[in-house]
Chains A and B, each alone.
Chain A
Amino acid sequence: MELINEIIVSALIIIGASFALVGSWGMVKLPDLMSRLHAPTKATTVGVGGALVASMVYFLALNGTVSIHELLITLFLFLTAPITANFLAKAWLHTQRPVDLPRPDKRDWATFDTEHRDTP
């Protein structure tokens, strides 16, 4: 039983770590900032997720207690990661103003719209 637990925990850690590694490799390999932005979303989902599930399994198997901190970490990550990505993207849009943006029907994107800044 102990052996099975250890195998499960190690497998989860290795899966998480390999996704984090691929995410980091993506940061190096991909050509521009906006593409690179896709890499860390990987590291924060399955990368961290693998380690968190491993930690829960470990504590469950070791002292039979349910550890819930991991769920909170997941929750905070899911709340903060999209906001960080959005800030980075918006800052980039402000400085670069790419030419290949699709245009919405009526008003421009909120970053560029100068009429009056009302949030929907």
Chain B
Amino acid sequence: MKVIGLDSSGLTATVAIVEDDKLVAEYTVNHKKTHSQTLVPMLDEISKMTELDLSTIDAIAVAKGPGSFTGLRIGSATAKGLGLALNIPIVEISTTEGLAYNLFGTDKLIAPIMDARREQVYTGLYEFEGDELKTILPATAEPIEDTVARINETGRAVMFLGDGVAVFKDKILELIKVPVSFAPAGKRLQSAASIATLGLKLLGEGKAIPARDHVPDYLRLSQAEREREENK
């Protein structure tokens, strides 16, 4: 089985092709250009480089959120367009779960954090049991203080990763009461290889959906909807 992975949920643009247990190609860019300008050209580049026959692709794995609303939509609309044109399904992968998978095999708690603005992080809590990634807390949006307090209660060593580290590292170091570490450069940000690998697994479990049915999981309502709810 062969899957294309896409993640444009944060500042990172990343695309990958994974076939069974082989990473065929991965292209990851952390640069100021918008995902709209980079994502498809990157996919085109790795496809040419690896002489990819697109008709051999079984599914598109896409980071479904949380993340930047616009970033998520660029990834989703791209995945949906690919699904429509190639007549293949989509596998939706939680952005935080995809990040956690970067740290395969660690015995520490895994805490992905992404800057969610409004003084919050998008986060979740994960751990590996052997080869299996287990979700302790699914993706949520909350103040970093709440995230650290929850981890402190476990008494276990934790590794943070994600673009939130750059923003909240000082705050974490100030509040944390358990052994703490931060993922190194090559593992810290979104990786489409992780998205595609998880995608292959879900595809095997029959959890792919028709491309037309995919929508991002924003975790938050739009501002207008929030204000309308509050004023009811």
Is A bound to B?
no
Q: Taking beta carbons and an 8 Å cutoff, which residues of B are in contact with A?
A: none
